[in-house]
Structure 1
Amino acid sequence: MKAIYMLALVLLLSACTKNFDAINTDPNTATTISPQYLLSTALIKTAYAYQDDAFMGKPAEAGRYITKVRNEGDDLFGWSAENWDSYYGTLSVNKQLYDLAAESGMKQYMAVSQIIRVFNFAYITDLYGDCPYSEALLSKDSGIVHPKYDQQEVIYTDLLKTLTAANDSLANTSLAINTTYDVLYGGNNLKWRKFANALHLRLLLRISSHDATAFTAMQTMLNDPAKYPLFESNSDNAAVKYLGVTSSDSWDGGNLVSEVTEVNKYKPSKEIVDTLLSLNDPRLAVWIAPVASETGYTVDGNTYVGVPNAIPSPYDYNGGEAHISELSAIFYQNANDLLKASLMTYAEQCFILAEAVQRGAVTVSDETAASLYYKGITASLEQNGVKAGTYMEQPAVVYKGTLSQLITQKWIALFLKGAEGWFDHRRTGYPAFVPGPLSAIRNIPSRYIYPTTEQSYNLSQYKSAVARQGADQTTTLMWYLK
């Protein structure tokens, strides 16, 4: 397995790009590589980048999971342009995986590659809005070096069609996926289909306020579980393990990747700690460390103390770092069974369906919104190695049928599991986060600002996108948020 990750690292480094022209050029020129050898690379690059954003990137602050107490610019929400080279670099490697599979008639890898493609493009458009899509990655094949920015609604329509086609293709092929190089599902065809369909549900819910067909499509899937299998337990979770052997296969908080002083900048937010405390949530002790000293504090005498964002001198909050919680010890390790590069979980799927049922938009056989809500909580608890006990019997946790309660529990379950907590807040307004007093804006950011290189390499297309979508600012709403 170590050899697989080292190969992945070599291919990853060879795929790095510096500007958008390079993004649209396939950096791997060898045509004799078998598709399966690129599969692990595409998976690792996808999962690690998404998880890195969830822990040390802007989504961690925007989702109010993390507050930085030093170099806290991200917490002030005065975000500058954000480079997207790494995302398109991953798509470039994945494109080569698809092209090689197509040349060899290996439909199983074509389908898997399409699922990876959807995940990455969905993430890009969820971060920026309109973006290069239909003409991206085509400079070598078609000479397109100034790709147009497709409208988000057009991108989403194609992504959903692609997921349907990938599911159907995997259902109708007997070709095996290599167990060694499939670091996500070990060659399990059915689990890949489940992931494709769970991701389909995520995207449908995302656009449901602006696409009248979203819930109809969701109901079609739910009416035919044989054709559209979904996650059934945590064993179906889409998550890549960390090996913890080298810096290239380790969790970002471990000493093989980061200095302890660097990781210590990242503290649990006041929002997540206070919410867990208020609910007597057993996940608190799994994720958060108690303060070093319970005497000498200034404003918060709890055993667990999170830090507000965008405040003056956050490292001095509550009397200093001895009175501020760190993340628990697992987040300082190179690998741990609870630390995985997570793309999507069974718990998230349960909450997606619970919301859709609660809204009266779909029905799920033998389920209610309440039963799905409880299944989501249970799955998260079990995933984190704790028992439910009487947790769900507490008045504040007992299902009440409100969107606020449901999204709050979903937000907890998504702790450091990606940008989804941030995206749900943008979509629903819950949990009701309020930026701190030094914040550059009065609301949580709605998007990333396009890379500065776009105004040098792709100015005409950039201007067209901005004219259509709105000013290139963090407060501009993308299509499905308007």
Structure 2
Amino acid sequence: MKKIIYKITVVVLVLGILLPSCTKDFTKTNTDPNNSPEATPAQLMAPALVNVLTANLLRNRNFNNELMQVTVDISDADGKVFRYDYRATWSDYLYNAWYAELSNFKDMYRIAGEPLTKTPTYQAVSLICQSWVYSLLTDTYGDVPYFKSNLAKDSAIVEPPFDAQKEIYLDIFKKLEEANTILATVNTTTYPMKADSDPVFSGDIAKWRRFGNSLYLRLLMRISGKAEVAQQCIDKIKQIATTTAYPLISKIEESAILRWTGAGPYVSPLMGVREQDFRAPGIAEFFINNLTTWNDPRIDIPTWGNNSFNRWRIAPYSGAYLGVPSGYVPGETPVKKSYFYSTTSAFNLMTEAQTGMILTYAEVQLILAEAAAKGWITGTASTYYNNGAQASIKQWLPNWTVDIVTYLAAADMDWSESFTLDQKMELIHLQKYYALFLTDLQQWFEYRRTGHPILPKGAGLRNNGVMPARMTYPVYVQSTNATHYRQAIAVQGPDVISTQVWWQKP
């Protein structure tokens, strides 16, 4: 009887997560002044975007950054992410947050398709946002509910089957194709987007189209190493990169970023982290050593108390930028040195407006650099590489005027056509590592795909010293969706962090 009661309780909790169409923090925003029984597409959009970015940024800070040697949460305790050791409870937060907002994005699409509220622009944006969130889900967990997810309210499907990652990706591509077609032909005068409903592009439909196609490019590259879809991906990458039918993010100002204004709901979730907790992790040696070696302008040594040039607000240690080793053996606890500065009374990453990163111009250029280096597209790989490296810096320092070729040569990071493909990949992905700073879990995904940049391996790493390949499914899924859970692991492999997802497998 206790087991039955427990299972019912968990089901109720899950339904509470997956059913809502509106978010409690946006009650006022989602209240229709005309007393409509449900929110409009414009009212659903901003809350969903804010809540996805909130989850992304918090897990970027305490999960991605620890795995990818941006920070080290110094401790000898068990369950430390920087040692490739994390508990199953880490899985719940993102899984719940992403599926909850998929309900909002799907409602946005449905309502925007109804005769009285027909707005194809919002339908297209919904398709892009669904594709973005589903890609995060499948890249984090592997096979996940997709085709029949979020249907508990409308179709009473409370135990959705898990779908194969390959099929998820192929359907995401269909969604992005449809979104591009809609936004290429929609009458923006008849079907405009409200600027105040869109905290990313302020209702600029052309920029949403560029973001959707840039996301398409990212995801095509992600699965391009799978032989069964490789040529299909390469052909599409070439089409997107070389025709006008798929406009891409073409300058820094078109980057997909939700900027935290500090007003209303647009307050950075990092402001909710206690100051002492925010500055508790030390900066990892890998992250800081490259920047100091390159004399990178994002961490120019400041005059203490007037650190206007230290764009990432990293605190010096004894007058220098110094990190701590990641993956160290318990018992060899290092002294914390540099860290991300925090105070609510001065500028820092807690209050920084552009930490709501989704996809930037720098990332697009570095994707194209990889495609060109592999001979998939025309264009010079070195040009794309230089553009990406420059954009990564100018995203944070718009007035930086140093010639990028001079900068890269001084840093011994300049391009050479004589390099092997692996050497070129290391160059590209080392720059991409910094371009993806603060962008959800993309550093982790790209490392799993490519093995670049090469990270030092501490002697204290768990999981046989191998970068974790996924998060495990939330524990409650084993009881609330037991049949489909067992089917999923029978196909994908054991529900452990070392089981590779489809696009990682040979």
**Is the TM value for this pair above 0.5?**
yes
Structure 1 pair 423–88 and aligned structure 2 pair: CA distance change class (3 A): same
1:4-52 deviation line (CA, Å, top 9, x unaligned)? xxxxxxxxxxxxx974334442455974422111111122122222222
The answer for the alignment partner of 2:428 in structure 1 is 406
The answer for the alignment partner of 1:59 in structure 2 is 64
Q: Which of 134, 144, 150 is residue 137 of structure 1 equivalent to?
A: 150
Deviation (angstroms), 1:178? 0.7
| Paired residue type of 2:402 | A
The answer for the alignment partner of 2:7 in structure 1 is none
Structure 1 pair 271–18 and aligned structure 2 pair: CA distance change class (3 A): farther
Deviation (angstroms), 1:172? 1.3
The answer for the alignment partner of 1:458 in structure 2 is 481
The answer for the alignment partner of 1:115 in structure 2 is 128
Measured in 1, the distance between the counterparts of 2:208 and 2:325 equals 39
Deviation (angstroms), 1:377? 0.7
- Mapping of residues 16-95 of structure 1, within 5 Å: 19-28=13-22, 31-56=37-62, 58-70=63-75, 73-81=80-88, 82-83=91-92, 84-95=95-106
Deviation (angstroms), 1:270? 1.3
Measured in 1, the distance between the counterparts of 2:360 and 2:259 equals 14
Residue 214 (str. 1) matches residue 233 (str. 2): yes
State the Cα RMSD in Å. Answer: 2.2
Measured in 2, the distance between the counterparts of 1:223 and 1:416 equals 29
In the alignment, is the contact (CA less than 8 A) between 2:180 and 2:212 conserved in 1? yes
Q: Which of 356, 375, 378 is residue 387 of structure 2 equivalent to?
A: 375
| Paired residue type of 2:386 | Y
Residue 388 (str. 1) matches residue 402 (str. 2): yes
Residue 169 (str. 1) matches residue 174 (str. 2): no
In the alignment, is the contact (CA less than 8 A) between 1:378 and 1:388 conserved in 2? no
| Aligned partner of residue 162 in structure 1, secondary structure | helix
Deviation (angstroms), 1:455? 0.6
The answer for the alignment partner of 1:425 in structure 2 is 447
Measured in 2, the distance between the counterparts of 1:216 and 1:392 equals 31
Q: Which moved more, 1:22-31 or 1:133-142?
A: 22-31
Q: Which of 341, 358, 361 is residue 376 of structure 2 equivalent to?
A: 361
| Aligned partner of residue 180 in structure 1, secondary structure | helix
Deviation (angstroms), 1:289? 2.6
The answer for the alignment partner of 2:304 in structure 1 is none
Q: Which of 261, 270, 273 is residue 285 of structure 2 equivalent to?
A: 270
| Paired residue type of 1:432 | I
- Give runs of ≥4 in structure 1 deviating > 3 Å: 17-24, 26-32, 312-316, 328-334, 386-390
In the alignment, is the contact (CA less than 8 A) between 1:101 and 1:110 conserved in 2? yes
The number of aligned residues is: 445
| Paired residue type of 1:20 | V
Measured in 2, the distance between the counterparts of 1:165 and 1:113 equals 11
Measured in 2, the distance between the counterparts of 1:163 and 1:41 equals 22
Residue 205 (str. 1) matches residue 211 (str. 2): no
Deviation (angstroms), 1:391? 1.1
Q: Which of 462, 465, 469 is residue 446 of structure 1 equivalent to?
A: 469
1:163-201 deviation line (CA, Å, top 9, x unaligned)? 010011111111111111111111111000000000000
Deviation (angstroms), 1:332? 4.1
| Paired residue type of 2:385 | Y
1:93-140 deviation line (CA, Å, top 9, x unaligned)? 112211211122211111111111000000000000100000100112
In the alignment, is the contact (CA less than 8 A) between 1:243 and 1:335 conserved in 2? no
The answer for the alignment partner of 1:13 in structure 2 is none
